[in-house]
Structures are given as C-alpha cells and as structure tokens.
A and B are shown apart, each in its own frame.
Chain A
Amino acid sequence: MAPKSDLLQGTLDLLILRTLALEPQHGWAVAERLQQISSDVLRVQQGSLYPALHRLERRGWIKARWGTSENNRRAKYYELTAAGRKQLERETRAWRKLVGAVAEVLGTS
C-alpha cells in the first residue's frame, strides 16, 4: 500500500472547499484538481474524498446537484454555499495562523 501522507484533521475539508471556491465541480474533478495544485505532494486516497464531500454537504457548506459532465454523462456537481464560503475564510485564517506559528517554532529552534 502506498504510504499515505497523513492529512491533518480538517485539512482535506479546507482543500475541498478551496477547490470548489473556484467553480462547481464533480468529485473526480476535485480529486484531479487537488492532485494538480498540490503538485502531487498530497496523495489523497481518492475513495476518502467522497465521505468528506458528503460530510461537508451535511454541514451545509457545499450543496450538490446532478448535472451533465463534459463527456455528456450524468454527474454529481458540488458547489460552495454562502455558509461554506464563510467557513473557507475562517479555516483559511486558522490555517495561516497555524502555519505561521509552526514556522515560528521551527525558525527559532
């Protein structure tokens, strides 16, 4: 089994929200995009993406609708809701703070 990069709890959520902030996407596209923008550093087991999507949907941060994909197939598209946009801002701020703090610690040691 390929070594999984341990995503911090909540990081996947943040990344998904960020990805969806650009435009509504279906699950596969989200997975692809995650891989692209993280330059293959974050290897998300694709299967674990869906539970995360469903969880975010339950929280009301994203909503789903069925649409037609570029190759004319029925696909489930996710898009950010207003609440999700706020959540993204919140999480981004929190993440920056955390990263800053960690950098601080690493820098001074």
Chain B
Amino acid sequence: MWSDLRFRLRALFRREALEDELDDELQFHLDQQIEKGVRAGLSRDEAARRARLAFGTLDHAREECRDARGTRLLDHARQDLVYALRILRRSPAFASLAVASLAAGIGAATAVFVVLHTVVMQSLPVPDPDRLVVLQARRHGERFVLFNPVFEAIQRDQRVLSGMAAVSDDPFLPVALDSTEPLAYMPTSRVSGSYFDVLGVSASPGRTLTDADDVPGGPCTAVISHGLWVRRFGQRPSVVGAHLRVRDTVCTVVGVAPPEFRSHQGGYAPDLWLPLRAMTSRELLQNHHLAFFSGVIGRLRDGVDRTAAERVLTARYRQVLAGEPEGELPPGVRPARPSDYTLALLPGAQGLGVVRNEFGRSLWIVFGVAVVFLLIAAINVGTLLLARGTARTTELATRAALGAGRSRLIRQLATEGAVLAIIGGTLGIVLAWTMTPILARAISMPYFTVVLEPGASLASSIGVAGLIAIVVILAGVLPAWRLSRVEVHPSVAASGRTTTRGGQRLARRLVVVQLALALLLVSVAGLLVQTLVHLRGVDPGFRPESVLVLEVQHETLRPEPADAPKAIRKQTLATKYDQLARQLNAIPGVRSAALSWLELFGGSDLGLTTYRPDRPDVRNYAHTDLVSPMYFETVGMHIVAGRSFTDADRAGAVPVAVINETLARQWFRDVSPLGRTLTLEYTSDQQPPFTVVGIVRDSKYNGLREDRTEPMVWMPLAQWPFEIRAVVLRVQAGAEPHVARDARARLAELDSSLMVRKETTLRDQVDQTMAREQLLLNLASAAGLLAVLVAAVGLYGTLAYAVVQRRREFGIRMAVGADRGRVLRLVMRDAVLVAVLGGTLGLPLAVAAGYACRAFLFGVTPTDATTLFGACAILGAVIAAASYLPARQASAVEPTVALRYE
C-alpha cells in the first residue's frame, strides 16, 4: 500500500528522472543483447537488428512501463492541461470573458451561500444541537407569548425535557466594566439558570450560571463572552470574581463562555449573560399579562421524541392556563378557552431565529438569483467552447481517425472547460472573500448582526466545490461529450468541412436556455424596480427629509422609589421635557425640534381603546403617541384643520388631542370633530375626556406597505409626561453634524440618565423598511445586467462561428444570385428563432420566479405585463445587437474569396 503510493508519487513528481532511468535501463538491455550477438559471431548491425526484433517495439514497451507506474491518467491530464492552456492563450478575449463571468457567478453564489449558511442553516455550536427545541406558545394557531408564571409552572414539573430555559435579550443594557467607567450600552441576555445546561455549554475559566444564581432578588452574577474577555480583560483568568456594574447593580463575573459559543440564536452575540430572575423585577416576574421573554428553549430528554414531548407539554400548558386568573382581554380579542392554546416544539438546532425569520426568505431568493446567474455563466462558457469546438471538428476527426479513443477526446476537450472553471472558481473564491462581509453587513439589522465564523464553514466549502463541479460539467464535460461524437468519414475529413450539426444544435439549445434564464433575472429585477418605485412613491404622510432622529432611553439607575408620589415625578419629567424642547429649538441650524414618546417608523406601537363619552358602548383601537409642541411641524405632518399643540397645552389646562383623518371619520362621520371630546382608556389611570383641537392628514405609522391607515391620536407630552423615546430635529441643509453634536450635549446636560441609543435620520428610518427590497434589487439587477451581457456574448459567439462554418454556403448562395440582404436575413432568422424559443421558455420561468418572491412585491403582480414586456424588449434589443454583427459578416462574404478559401 505504502510502497505503491510512494512509487506513484515518485512517478508523478520525478517524471523526468524516471523517464531517463527507463531509457537507461532499456538501452542497457539492448546493449547486452547486441554484445551477446556479437560474441556469437554476428556483425554489429545484424546483432542490433536481432536485438530490436527480440525486444519488440521500444516505444510500446516504454508506454507500457509508464502504464505500469499507474500515472497514465495523470500524465494525460497533464498533457491536456498544457494543451488547454495553449489553446486558451491563443484567444485571450474569450478566455478572460469566460473566467470573469464564472468568477462573478461563483463569487456571488459563494458569498450568498456563506451568509445563508451562517444565518439559516448553521446549527448552534453546542453538543447534540438536534435535541434542542424552541417552545412556541400558540393561541388559535397563531404565535402567542409565554408569561413567566406559566413558564415557571411548566418548568417546575415537566419530565419530557432534560431542561428548559427562558431567554430575554437586551441589545442595549447600560454596563460599566469597572467603577471608574461611565455606563455604556452592551448587548446582553438574561437567561434562566438552566440555560447553559440546556445548551450543553461550559465556561472556562470559571463556571456557568446555574439555578442557584437564578433567584428572584438574588445577587447578580454574570458570565461574559469570550470576545469581551479578550477585548477588555486581556484574557486574564482573574476576571472570575471581578465586579461590573449593570445599571446600578454590582454583578460578579463567575465565568467566561467558550470562544465558539455566541448565543442561543444565529446573528446575536451578547457580551453578558445575567440570571433572569435575579435581574427582573418581582412585579414583572409575577405578571400574567406582560411578556418579556425573547423565547424559550429546551432539550429533549433521551428517548423522547419531539411530537410526544409536544403532546405532553401542550396538555400541561392547558392545565396551567385553566388555573390562571381570567385576564383582561385587549379589545377585539375573543376570549379563548385553554383548548385554544398549544405549546409547539419547533426544531431548535439553530436556536431562536430573529435574523433567520427576517432575512431567510430574501437570502434564499438572492441565492437563487446568484445560482441562476452562475448557470448562465457556465452555460455560456459551454456554448462558446462548443461553438469553437465545432470549428475544430476537422482536427477532432483527424485525431479520432488517428486512433484517439472517444474518452480521451472527451477528457481533452473537457479539460479546457475545467481549466476555465477552476481559474474562474479560484478568482470567485477571492471575490467571495471580499463580498461576504459586505453582504453580511447589508443584511444585519440594527440590533442583530450576522457574525461570520472564520473558517468554520466546512459546509460552505462543500457547497462551493459543488458549484464549481456543476460549472465544470456544464462548461466542459457537456460540450466535450457532444463534440466527441464526430463522424470519422475519411472523405469528409479530407474536405476539411466536417460539420457536426449536432454540436451546433446543442450550442443553440444552450443559448436558448441562457436567454430564458437571463429573461428570468431581468424580469425579477424589473419587478423589484417597480416595487421600489412604488414604495418610494408612497406618500408617508410626513416629510422625512432633513430630519435628525435621536433614539433615546431613560436609563434609570434604580427602580424609582415607590414612595415618591407619582404626580410629583410626572411633574418633574414634564418640566424637564419642556426645558429640553426649548433648548433644542434654540440650537443654531435647527428649524424646529420636538420630543416624542414613540419613534416614528421605529417599530414601536401602542394601541389604546378610545370611545365617545356619549357612546361608551362603542369602543375602538387607536394608535397613540405623546408629543411635544412643534412635533407635527418637525416631522412634516400636515394639519388639515384646527391647530397643533402649543406651550399652553400643559398640565392643568384642558386636556387636548390631535387626531388623524381616519379617526375623525370613524368617530365623527358627519360632524366636525373639532371641539368634540373623546375618552382614552389607559389601565389604572382613568383620564378625563380630551378635546380634539386638530386634525392631521393620514400618514403611515411603521411601514410604507401599510395598506390602510390606522386611527391615530396624539396628546401633549406636557399633559401626559411619559418617558420619551425619540428626539426629532428638522435642520437646515448641511447643519446635521453639528446639530447632532449640540443636541447630544443638551441631552447630557439636562439628564445624564437620558442615553442616546442611535442617531439616524427620518429618511433612513423610512428607507430601513425597504432595506431588504433594496438589497434584493441591487443584487438582482446586477445579476440581470451581467446575465444579459453574458447571454449576448454567448449568442454572438455561436452565430459568429456558425457564419464562419457556413461561409462557403453563403458564397455559393451569392454566386447563384442571392443578394446580401437575403444572406443577412438568413442569419437573422436564426437569431430570431433562438430569441423566440428563449422567450417561450423564459416567460413561464420569469412568472414562476415572480411568484417565488411575491412576498417582496409591492404595487406590482408577478404577471405584470409591463415588466415582462420590458424584459423581453431589453433582451430582444440585445439579441438584435448581438446577431447583427455576425449577420453583417455573413452578408459581406465575397463569393469568389469564400469559394477559393475552400
């Protein structure tokens, strides 16, 4: 075995030396034989003749010896490679186009695949990830939430899971790593004590959290991420036992998570894990109506399968719910019986899936686009090789006649495609290297980032290898297989005009497929362009240009003392905000500034029940926000009747509100709502009715795709002093940077607990909601554009070669009287046929692709005639351009020259 391998390797790498040795050995043999003959009395010449006769053909023996070395295949591969490289060097334009298109295709597909794999397919780096489950409560089959008391009741006495753990992610928790440092936001997770056990993750150095840490009111302990340990603690083992501050709580570090472990879900990498119950207020822990879990994970006990566990847990869940106090139901929600609830166990190998759910589908589509593009590029190379191969038929026929086996021919031809595929693949991988991080950034959400694991993606490498293999087959083997079927007719070969019509036919079919796929990409790009145009055309109901947004959060260092009278606290807040609003409005470069409780297009939402005091039985939901004066002016909402808020709308004054047109229509169909009253129901605080003072034009709330406007009501922050979440500033052009700086300074001066989470613009907030569509469009249109180019080159290549092939035919046709126009039409007819077939095949594909990404379309349907027609038109124009040149060439054939050429 070993000697065999050594022998073969030596044969492979010391080829020259072996050849010399072989020559020496055989020469020695012949010399000996001649000597023998001479000794027997023969003349030297005769002895040499007999020696050779006894030996047999020297070359034959040599060849057999090479065979015996077991490297013949490789030897041939080497010859093929050298030959292929020589051929490719002779046509640099073709070679570079082929390599570039393959590199682009492989690069894009690989980059998308790596991200897709990381986000969608990769299992958590924990032991036995397949035994993990995600517990998902459902009501009437729809996602529902698990409240902590219910979770604890189930956790306490279930037996089908070896453990279950609740997780509450907080990407923004103010943490200081030592006493001198100011608080800074850090991504964190609060987790049940069983969390690390369930996942099967251990800490080093130190220990993980356990149930003993997870005690209501207990001391705070923390596990830190390996990354944080490296970044901030210089990997000192003494970090165990160190203290850090989380808000105003001092936490003791008990351990460091392993380097490969990020968290319970792809895309989220907290730096701190804290015990859930120790770090959550008792009120929240005991609350039966407020959910604060990001999710619940569990690990199946050995021998228990998922469906069985699901049955048991659902039964237990219903039992617990039956004993729960009847909660107040939000209006419009029908009361549910315990049997309406289920506790689903979803496969949890990949953990919870925020990014996965958000971007999984678009990533699959992008991957599809990249793969389709790669197919086009590969087919293109195959087509061109085929076309060129067809022109080489005479050579092939000659070689076949000389005794080259078919498989040998196939291998030799396929090598050319393979060389292109491998060079393209190598460049593609380099390209993927640079593209992957960019793509990962593009799909990361503000709170969740795609963490690419360096080098960990074996599956990705396999994927890439698979892609390259497909390319090699399409670009090399397929045409080679077809071309090798040359008819060896001596007469034909002699005339130098072997026609492999078969090769031409296959090339043409491939061009048809290419065109069909290009049509698909172009029409998908078209649908996405239309989607974006429509989305951008949507009037949000406000003017997002030149508006700075600071997302802020009151980071209270300790829970507010319960004994401080609420009214006083609220009054302090109101005064503070009043002051802040004035200061912000005084910043140079600010046209107007305002504060708001919620953030426009920030994804937050609060619906409260409203009713008319005179008709208390009819109740309705309304989105509610609390804002300072100047809010409508700042975000650019239009007051259609009445007024906006003023400084006079303060505590003690008449409670007022501004409503939108939809709410106005809902409650005051036929009368003017101005001066009328409405009541807002807010738990625990029974508020007096408020008077409507203004009506605002309908606007979007959280997304441009909202198809119907919700009723909305705004009330003055001064009358409802709740902690604000957003500061908005309409600024003069160019003043943004210094205004942002000044605004931050004002905030810090006013209240150091008011921390800025994010600085953005309203435009960006709005655009953010189109990020996925934009990403899809960018990739699809780039792919579409390249695909059209590549397909055009493919078409041009086949037609041009066909023209060269048929030069004599054209010459004869013209010699017998066909005019140039006729020959031109002859070639164009070919092109038109290919185009029509491509369209016939491509249109259904395009429609199917449109349906596949229907979820992203807006204002356009997958069968949109304009898009399909446009795509056909673009492709048609390109086809016309690509076929005109060869047609011109054909018609320019000089009959005398063409015939003499033969």
- Tell whether A60 pairs with B54 under 8 Å between CB atoms, given A51-B61, A76-B25: no
Selected from A26, A50, A58, the residue in CB contact (under 8 A) with B64 is: A50
Q: Is there an interface contact between B4 and A60, defined as CB atoms closer than 8 Å?
A: yes
Q: Which residues of B lie under 8 Å from residue A45 when comparing CB positions?
A: 54-56
Q: Which residues of A contact B749 (CB under 8 A)?
A: none
A47 CB to closest chain B CB, in angstroms?
3
CB nearest neighbor in A for B21: A76
Task: Judge whether B3 and A60 touch: CB under 8 Å.
Answer: yes
Which of chain B's residues have a CB closer than 8 A to the CB of A60? 2-4, 7
**Number of A-B residue pairs having CB atoms within 8 Å of each other in the complex:** 71
Q: Which residues of A contact B68 (CB under 8 A)?
A: 51-52, 54-55, 58
Encoded as 1 (CB less than 8 Å from any B CB) or 0, chain A from 41 to 62 comes to 0000111101110110111100
Q: How large is the interface on B (under 10, 10 to 19, 20 to 34, 35 or more residues)?
A: 20 to 34
A48 and B60 alpha carbons, distance in the complex (Å) = 9
| A48, A54, A55, A60 pick with most chain B CB within 10 angstroms | A54
Indicate with 1 or 0, residue by residue over B7-34, a CB within 8 angstroms of chain A CB atoms.
Answer: 1100000000000011011101101110
CA A57 to CA B65, docked complex, whole Å: 11
What is the bound-complex CA distance between A55 and B25, given in angstroms? 15
* Chain A, residue nearest B54 (CB): A46
Contacts known (A54-B69, A74-B28); A47 close to B56, Cβ less than 8 A: yes
Interface residue A88 (Cβ < 8 Å from any Cβ of B): no
Q: Do A76 and B57 have beta carbons less than 8 Å apart?
A: no
Q: When each residue 7-35 of chain A gets 1 if its CB lies under 8 Å from chain B and 0 otherwise, what string results? A: 00000000000000000001110010000
Cβ of A109 under 8 Å from chain B:
no
Inter-subunit contact A51/B29 (CB<8 Å):
no
Q: Is the CB of B55 within 8 A of A46?
A: yes
Interface string of A68-108 (1 = CB under 8 A from B): 01010111100000000000000000000000000000000
Does B892 reach chain A (CB closer than 8 Å)? no
B7 touches A48 (CB 8 A): no
User: A76: which B residues are within 8 A, CB to CB?
Assistant: 21, 24-25, 28
Q: Does B35 contact A (CB under 8 A)?
A: yes
- Check A47–B31 contact: CB distance below 8 A: no
CA distance A27 to B55 in the complex (A): 12
Point out the residues of chain B lying under 8 angstroms from A26, CB to CB: 28
Take A28-B28, A48-B61, A74-B24 as given contacts and tell me if A58 and B7 are in contact as well, using a CB distance cutoff of 8 Å. yes
Contacting residues, chain B, for A71 (C-beta < 8 A): 35
Which residue of B has the minimal Cβ distance to A73? B28
Measured CA separation A27–B33 after assembly (Å): 11
Min distance, Cβ A61 to any Cβ of chain B, angstroms:
9
Residues of B within 8 A of A28 (CB): 28-29, 32-33
Cβ-closest chain B residue relative to A75:
B28
Known interface pairs A27-B29, A60-B3, A73-B31. Does A47 touch B55 (Cβ–Cβ under 8 Å)? Answer: yes
Q: How many angstroms between the C-alpha atoms of A34 and B28 in the bound complex?
A: 18
B70 interfacial by beta-carbon distance below 8 Å:
yes
Given contacts A58-B3, A58-B7, A58-B70, is CB(A48)–CB(B56) below 8 Å? yes
A57 touches B7 (CB 8 A): yes
Interface of B with A (CB < 8 Å)?
2-4, 7-8, 21-22, 24-26, 28-29, 31-33, 35, 54-58, 60-61, 64-65, 67-70
**Other contacts beyond A28-B28, A51-B65, A60-B4: 4, CB < 8 A:** A47-B58, A58-B7, A69-B32, A73-B28
